[in-house]
Amino acid sequence: MKTIPLTTAIILMASTAAFAQVETRTMTFENEGATLSGTLYLPEGHDGSKLPAVVVTGAWTSVEEQMPAVYAEQMVERGFAAFTFDFRGWGKSGDLPQSVRFVESPEAKTSDIRAAFAFIATLPEVDISRINGLGICASAGYMIDAVAGNDRVGRIGLVAPWLQNQEIVSAVYGGDDGVKGLIEMSRAAEAAGGQIIPAAGPEGAEGVLMPIGGYYYEEDRGAIPAYDNKWNNAGWEGWLTYYPADHAERLTQPLAIVHSEAAAIPQGVRTFLEGFTGVATLQWLEDVTQFDFYDNPDDVTRAADSMAAHFND
């Protein structure tokens, strides 16, 4: 891997771009028999000329109105068209097969991102020679897999990426016994046709995926009306056996990452980059939490500046 430090000059150049007002257009596209709902973000009053474009995807359980919308607006302010969408089984989009919803399926979400790239390549406002992907948190792995081997996509950026392998999964989810127990729960839930629990709750809550308060639980942050706030326990096995940190060799496009030691599993970034043979731009921010990357204005601005500089390189 060749790592290029992100220079202050590049960041300042990107951040001095004139901010634009944003307009949105609701759109739908198809993938594997389901209709997905998405949003195209453009500068207000856009004249129809072709723009470089970014497909933006968010953290696990999220919908497009959360952190994807935040970064989509940031990309428009920096001269891009941006596209967000709800994955199958989430938000406004159709179901997964067998009418399943709220399953965090890496395979399905990767397929949906590929379909989103194919869809935006048909839009007259998009410069098909400058299509990029931006994955946040859990969708970083899905974005990597959707971009790898995809000739439509020129560059990829990751913000606060959650890149796990078996070792990290074991450390996060209670060791080998904890992982085994969750996989057994997943199989039982799948056999029962699904078992849906709240995704977010207050600190210490029982029967909740994320009993930690914070972003997903606060109404002025991620707990917006559009958020499903649901998790299907049938999704645990697919999630826990998904190891994007170990598959860096799949990706050949130039890569930019913004992360922090204070955010989630920074060791996953280091593991991934050890196996990455392409060109990577890496920026570590100090004392930025995972949730700060989702909506804290200063931290979002810094991350968006880095992504814009990378996509414009």
Tokens 């992360």 appear where? 259
Structure tokens at 167: 């070792």
Q: Is residue 14 part of a domain?
A: yes
Contact (Cβ atoms closer than 8 angstroms) between residue 37 and residue 92 = yes
User: Exposure pattern of 185-223 as b/e (b: 16+ CB <10 Å)?
Assistant: ebeebbeeebbebbbbbeeeeeebbbebebbbbeeebbe
The amino acid present at 196, given as its one-letter code, is I
Query: Average model confidence (pLDDT) for the chain?
Result: 94
Q: Is residue 60 part of a domain?
A: yes
pTM of the entire structure?
0.94
Structure tokens at 57: 């995807």
- pLDDT of 5 strictly over 90: no
pLDDT in tens, 77-133: 999 999 999 999 999 999 999 999 999 999 999 999 999 999 999 999 999 999 999
Q: Estimate the crossing angle of helix 139-147 against helix 106-120, to 10 degrees.
A: 60
Q: Is residue 279 part of a domain?
A: yes
Least trusted range by pLDDT, from 10-14, 218-222, 236-240, 262-266: 10-14
Contact (Cβ atoms closer than 8 angstroms) between residue 273 and residue 287 = no
CA angle 179, 102, 219 (to 5 degrees): 100
- pLDDT of 7 strictly over 50: no
- pLDDT of 203 strictly over 50: yes
Q: Is residue 224 part of a domain?
A: no
Domain that holds residue 143: 2-165+244-312
Structure tokens at 117: 């790239």
Using only the alpha carbons of the chain, give its radius of gyration: 18
Q: Is residue 299 part of a domain?
A: yes
pLDDT in tens, 143-198: 999 999 999 999 999 999 999 999 999 999 999 999 999 999 999 999 999 999 99
Q: Is residue 136 part of a domain?
A: yes
Residue 16 pLDDT: 33
Residue 282 pLDDT: 97
Structure tokens at 84: 């967000």
Rounded mean pLDDT, 38-47: 96
Contact (Cβ atoms closer than 8 angstroms) between residue 293 and residue 160 = yes
Total tally of structural domains belonging to the chain = 1
Q: Is residue 210 part of a domain?
A: no
Spatial CB neighbours of 156, under 8 Å, sequence gap ≥ 6: 132, 133, 134, 135, 143, 144, 147, 251, 253, 254, 255, 256
CATH of the domain at 152: 3.40.50.1820
Q: Is residue 220 part of a domain?
A: no
- pLDDT of 220 strictly over 60: yes
Measured CA to CA, the distance from residue 220 to residue 143 in angstroms comes to 28
